[in-house]
Amino acid sequence: MKFPYKQDVQSDASPNSSKSTEAKSSGLGTFGGVYTPSILTILGVIMYLRFGWVVGNVGLVGTFIIVTLATSITLLTALSVCAIATDRVVRVGGAYYMISRCLGIEVGGAVGISLYFAQALSIALYTIGFAESIVQTFGQLNQTYVALFVTISVAVLALTSAQIAVKAQYLIMGAIVLSLICLFFGPSIPNITPQGWNIPTPTNGQSFWAVFAVFFPAVTGIMSGVSMSGDLRDPSRSIPTGTLAAVGTGYLVYMGLPLIIAMRADTATLLSEPLVMKMMSLWQPAILLGVWGATLSSALGSILAAPRVLQALARDGIFPPWMSFLGRGSGENDEPRIGTWVTLSVAIAAVCIGDLNLIAPVLTMFFLTTYLVLNLSASIEGFLQSPSFRPSFKVHWVLSLLGGIGCLWVMLLINPVATMVAGAIVLAIYFWIQQRELTTTWGDVRRGIWMALLREGIYQIDRVEDTKNWRPNVLVFSGSPSKRWSLIQLANALTHQRGLITVSSVLPSGSRDLAQQTHLENTISENLKKQQVQALVRVVTASDPFEGMLQLVEAYGLGAVVPNTILLGDSEDTNRRDNYCNMIAQLHYANRSVIILRENPQRGFGNYRRIDVWWGGMKANGSLMLLLAYLLHSTIEWRDAQIYLKLVVPNEAGAKDAKANLNAMLAQLRISAVPSVIVADERPFEDILHESSQSADVIFLGMATPNEHNFTEYYEQMHARTANLPTTIYVMAAADFAFGEVLSEGSS
């Protein structure tokens, strides 16, 4: 079977899933596929080795509270799993599949990789624990060899067939049931006073929350059944039924055991004897069988679950292409035998290391992180109420959110350091996957989240801009971006990833239909992303390009969010100068600021070292030009540049006062610029401009506003006066906005 391990990740409905879909008719049922692995993981070694210790520390009532509180968090997580599982077909990968299809491939991959290694290394934890108990009973054996033998044995079972492995779990379940029956009918410990309902007061007892942290992992384990999703006949039915049944069964057992223990043992014995259950069992070896069965069942559940997560990760292209073989399935049931061999290698390496106590807390955090993210997935889906989210098992989003909060609280309670380490690892994997820029053919909730935030934001924004929050929202008429890239560069620098940029092109009428326009927009958008420019793209058609620009300015935007700044290239075509200038006038009358870039083709933006602003006062264009120069200087490319604020005075008499005024203004505005006062001495401004700014990298010049006089004639004169200068930016500020207040905001 071949899978597309490229940047594009396959659809859930792709042909690659047909084989596993056909296998569903002979797949596992609810009892064998979900309930059995889940309940066996829940009824684990903590029940046998720590339950007496829990009762001894907090008493019978305290134990009931701990069991109920811990199970409530697991139940909320199970409800979230049920909601997601009944909304869509859950294929191979279990929790990873659910998370990736909800929160996106980056989040799903980060949690999925962590979950895989947690499950793979857990095999070693369980088999080492099993070996320890065997060696304590049969002292002549070697612990490492026993652990290796058991690890390989459970892997052989998993490699043979998932169904055979599940049948083996029935034997283990039988051993656990036998141990519980023997405990139920067993005697009290002789010569003691049972604890009963009394609350113990041991001198070295643990606090309630410390005991809770030790006990909580005993109620986890529902992922063992969820991870078998690819092997189930009907995942949407089996996962909810089997998971909830396992949680309910575990709760009943955990509420009954403390009652038996407290009525048959005293506090001192409960605190000092880890295998206190053995002392009160009708047949004591049954408890050992239960302990061994619990560890073996957990190891078997992990060796079944981990390769299926690995298979799903590989099929979705999370790993590099050379690792694509991990996604292959074998046999009629599409079993991940290659993934099982890899997982066995990881487990054997961990067994050989032997001491996994350092990483065990982090592995627990990985499992709880999976629970946390599953709860968040269901909570977000329920909150957004997307039409596509229609689970047959409905859960209010608040319950899922409470489950997520509970998981995070327990993580911090159990081990804050391990929580931070696990979180850092998950974040590192997330950023690694994000850098690979994987694309998927399925949707996730991220777009829904942004749409919800956008909707709320649009309705909250007032139509009248305020000076406190002004920033340039630029509409760039660039034509083909590759041919006029300097316009994109300038817009990107001025917005500084705070304002909005829309790159627009006006094409001749009939040159593109709507579908072709959309395709062109997507192509331009992808090219901009490759250049690390965040921008929207809009392509329209019109019989006249200038009319098309005006129509776009008039219609473009969403609610109060409309372009407030129009960025154009200079017009060199004298035959179309009238239409060009008329468009500028119309943009001004529409209360838009207009910026025109006249680029020096030989120099471009020069060395990014010097910005000249020709100052005419705070009113009109002056404030906007100084703002734009400040924004330009704030970027990485221009941060070493020096802003020169240039002012022309007629004679020496006013030069000193003018310079003092400029210094005082700049200090008040908190803008770093060098005031430069130039005495005209009857020289024309054109000569002063060319003499003073010839060495600049970019020049800001204000434009007169259109009036009853001929604006085309004015523009042509300005065009002639600035010929052969470095790159020049003409600025015409919107008439009805106080840019001076943007500069002076907070300076008084």
The single residue listed with the structure tokens 């608040």 is 398
| 192 band by pLDDT with thresholds 50, 70 and 90 | confident
Q: Would you tell me how many other CB atoms lie within 10 Å of the CB of residue 740? A: 20
Q: Give the pTM.
A: 0.74
Per-residue DSSP letters for 675-687? EEEEE-TT--HHH
Question: 137-146, 274-283, 421-430, 630-639: lowest mean pLDDT where?
Answer: 137-146
pLDDT of residue 138: 83
- Is the Cβ–Cβ distance between 119 and 369 less than 8 Å? no
Classified as helix, coil or strand, 27 is coil
pLDDT digits (tens, 9 = 90+) for 153-174: 999 988 887 778 778 889 999 9
> Using CA atoms, how far apart are residues 16 and 14, in angstroms rounded to an integer?
5
pLDDT band for position 307 (50/70/90)? very high
- Spatial CB neighbours of 405, under 8 Å, sequence gap ≥ 6: none
Please state which CATH class domain 572-580+595-748 belongs to.
Answer: alpha beta
Whole-number Å distance between alpha carbons of 641 and 636: 10
Reading phi first (left if > 0) and then psi (alpha if -120 to 50, else beta), residue 354 is in left
Look at domain 468-569 and name its CATH class: alpha beta
- Nearest residue to 92 via CA among 403, 302, 335: 335
Would you state the structure tokens that stand for residue 464, as one six-digit string?
């009248």
* Distance between CA atoms of residues 180 and 260, nearest Å: 11
Task: Name residue 728's beta-bridge partners.
Answer: 598, 699
* Contact between 559 and 464 (Cβ < 8 Å): no
The CATH number corresponding to 19-189+206-440 among 1.10.3720.10, 1.20.1740.10, 1.20.1050.40, 1.10.220.150 equals 1.20.1740.10
Instruction: Give the H or E element holding residue 731.
Output: strand 728-732
Residue tagged 């109060």 (tokens): 560
Both tokens of 266, joined, read 């005293």
pLDDT tens digits along 664-712: 998 888 888 999 999 988 899 899 999 999 999 999 999 998 875 688 9
- DSSP H helices, 267-335, are 267-272, 276-279, 285-315
CA distance 320 to 132: 38
pLDDT in tens, 342-398: 999 999 998 988 766 667 788 888 888 999 999 999 998 888 887 778 888 889 999
Residue 568's DSSP bridge partners are: 596
For helices 162-184 and 143-160, angle between their N-to-C axes, nearest 10 degrees: 120
Q: Domain residues of the chain, as ranges? A: 19-189+206-440, 468-569, 572-580+595-748
Helix (H) or strand (E) segment spanning residue 8:
strand 8-9
Overall size of the chain counted in residues: 748
| Residue 612 Cα distances to 678, 690, 727, angstroms | 13, 12, 11
Q: Do 468-569 and 572-580+595-748 come out as alike in CATH topology?
A: yes
